[in-house]
Structure 1
Amino acid sequence: MMKTIKFTIALLLMAALTFAQPKAIRVLKSGQGTAVLFLPGFTSPGSVWNETISHLSKVESHVVSYAGFNGIPPVETPWYPRLRQELLAYIEQEKLGNLTLIGHSMGGNLAVDIAAALPDRVTKLVLVDAIPCMRALMMPGVPASQISYESPYNKQILEMPNEQFAQMAAGMAGNMTNNKAMADTLARWTVEAHRPTYVYGYTDLLKLDLREVLPSIKAETLILGAPFPDEKIVLENFQKQYALLPAKTIQIAPASRHFIMFDQPDWLYEKVADFLKNE
């Protein structure tokens, strides 16, 4: 009897600890209509999609934000697999079907990952300046096995003084949008991020290669790219990396950098609305 009681108490403690763990995602649900899951990019809050949502009709929006960014408590690493796992659990919990996924940058990676895992539930994909294997562009020929969490570069970023980190963030943000006011916002999102999540989460993305799962996706896909720094090279990269994706359309925004929603918002709203209008 005593053993049974102790075992029951142990189970209850384990359950309590499990539920006490911080969540890797937060989701805000609103509206009525076709279910659309909105996935922001690295360090971006879910609110980056608010204006896009306001230009869509008959949509039940599920807007995701990530642990470690925008004041949301961090979770233990590896970070990206936790996001993926909890997003799949959320879709199951909400019983979402005939689902559209809209992702920017890293959010596009998650969208591809989920669409490949749930090919019969995800019917449409919108990928905004997202590439299935960032490492192939940034570090050609380097296998994932050579990407280490405990690298000298990661150590440098973790230990970088706040002022120097802020300068680095401002420099990167200036290359991501033509909109000066929004570049300042992007830099702030990076500076306010949980530093280990920023460092190790980025390492997760460098390790990621989703090209091999593309044939599993059944969803009709719209890929929207930015022409910076060279439109011809950008288009070739998209065509090459998404070669195994069956049903896709690739369109390049005019005069835009990575954050198309800041540089060419009307173009983005029109493309997304047209793509979803048959729902």
Structure 2
Amino acid sequence: MIRHLPLRLAASLLTLAVVLQPAARATAAPAAKAPPAAAAGATVRLPHVSIRSVGTGSPVVLIPGLSSPAAVWDATVAQLSPRHRVIVVQVNGFGGDAPGANLSPGILDGVVADLHGYLARETLTKVALVGHSMGGLLALKTALAHPGDVGRIMIVDSLPFYGRLFGPQMTVAAIEPRARAMRDMMVARYGKPADPAADGALAAQMAATPAARDAVAAWVAKADMRVSGQAMYEDLTTDVSADLPRIIAPVTLVVPYNATLPQATVDALYRDAYKGTATLNVVEVADAAHFVMLDRPQVFAGALEDFLR
């Protein structure tokens, strides 16, 4: 574990708490009944998520990461919607919208339940599921809880247990006190003025280009810190590593590397983290940070087309 890997946690979790870091999993939420299908382009609001469907064709579900709005996928929606039904998920409380049920514990399980309810209502099965960061963990949890929903998975820079970034011997029990302290610090920031310097420093770790950094900083500033804090806590204290062999859908893992995080290091870390996955294809993207789709849009678009083929 090289000394730069803790920075990967900041990138992977998209949270101010890592920049400000101080030295029980949620119980499953009941599935929410989705309302009738909305008109194309309209947004369906559920307790834990808002979902927008654009285009027609084979379905592709896009899930953003922690504190990220659906806008992180705008270029991907434009790329895919002429040939696919693109279903974009946004966690309530991110992107400046109302938090809904996400002011209570159980955010991750609630998102999985809402997405399953939506797919069931729309009679969609075996969808292609693409998740970035926390969205990658949500994709894994969906495949484990509702295997019939998922036909294939693309995970963009995410781990089945983020604690691995602190060392291979880290456990949920060991990381829980730190995760709790970080959550409490984030929640305490709610209602206070944004800190542009902290947002900018975080964005610089997570994105490689100026435009991407500006977008990330703006998204972090708009997120409800109460939701981000609890979601981050649940993200850090979730470990599905032992369940990976149960995932029957093929998994494509997109991993960025750069001068700070060398290819050999991230390759070893991520391949070890996903060992046991039945079908795993690793796509490594050079000169990119956590927001691969923003840093290297053409490379990411090509990888996505390969994944869907």
TM-score grouping bracket, smaller chain normalisation: 0.7 to 0.9
Closer/same/farther in 2, CA of residues 244 and 73 from structure 1, 3 Å limit: same
In the TM superposition, residue 152 of structure 1 has moved relative to its aligned partner by 4.0
Q: How does 1:168-183 map to 2 (within 5 A)?
A: 168-183=198-213
Kindly indicate whether the alpha-carbon contact (under 8 Å) linking 1:149 and 1:203 is maintained by their aligned counterparts in 2.
no
Asked if structure 2 preserves the Cα contact closer than 8 Å seen for 1:129 and 1:226, the reply is yes
CA contact (8 A) 1:129 1:258 kept: yes
Instruction: Give the corresponding residue for 1:207.
Output: 237
Aligned to 1:248: 280
Alpha-carbon distance, 1:117 to partner: 2.1
- Out of 70, 86, 89, which is 1:64 matched to? 89
Give the direction of change, closer, same or farther, for the CA distance of 1:272–1:22 in structure 2 (3 Å limit): closer
Cα gap change, 1:150/1:233 in structure 2, threshold over 3 Å: closer, same or farther?
closer
Amino acid at match of 1:206: L
Change (3 A) 1:55 1:150: closer
Quick one: percent identity of the two aligned structures? 24
Seen in structure 2, the aligned counterparts of structure 1 residues 64 and 221 have a Cα distance that, compared at 3 Å, is same
- The whole-number CA distance in structure 2 between the counterparts of 1:153 and 1:132 is 20
Deviation at 1:53, TM superposition (A): 2.6
Q: Distance in 1 between matches of 2:105 and 2:263?
A: 36
* Counterpart residue number, 2:78: 54
Return 5+ residue gaps in structure 1 as ranges.
1-18
In the other structure, the counterpart of 1:275 is 307
* TM-score normalised by L of structure 1: 0.85
**CA distance in structure 2 between the partners assigned to 1:121 and 1:86 by the alignment:** 12
Aligned to 2:60: 36
Displacement of 1:48 after TM fit?
1.3
Root-mean-square deviation over aligned CA pairs: 2.3
Q: Secondary structure at the match of 1:175?
A: helix
Does residue 187 of structure 2 align to residue 158 of structure 1?
A: yes
Of 164, 172, 184 in structure 2, the residue corresponding to residue 144 of structure 1 is 172
Counterpart check, 1:108 vs 2:136: yes
In structure 2, the CA distance between the partners of 1:216 and 1:253, relative to structure 1 (3 Å rule), is same
Question: 1:189 maps to which residue?
Answer: 219
Q: Does the residue aligned with 2:286 lie in a helix, a strand or coil?
A: coil
Residue number among 158, 161, 169 corresponding to 1:130 in the alignment: 158
AA aligned to 2:275 is A
Query: Hey, what does 1:7 align to over in structure 2?
Result: none
State the shift of 1:183 in Å: 0.9
**TM superposition shift of 1:115:** 1.4
Q: Are 2:60 and 2:127, in contact at CA under 8 Å, matched by a contact in 1?
A: yes
How far 1:132 moved relative to its partner? 1.0
In the TM superposition, residue 47 of structure 1 has moved relative to its aligned partner by 2.1
Aligned residues: 258
Name the residue aligned to 2:32: none
**Per-residue deviation, 1:165:** 4.0
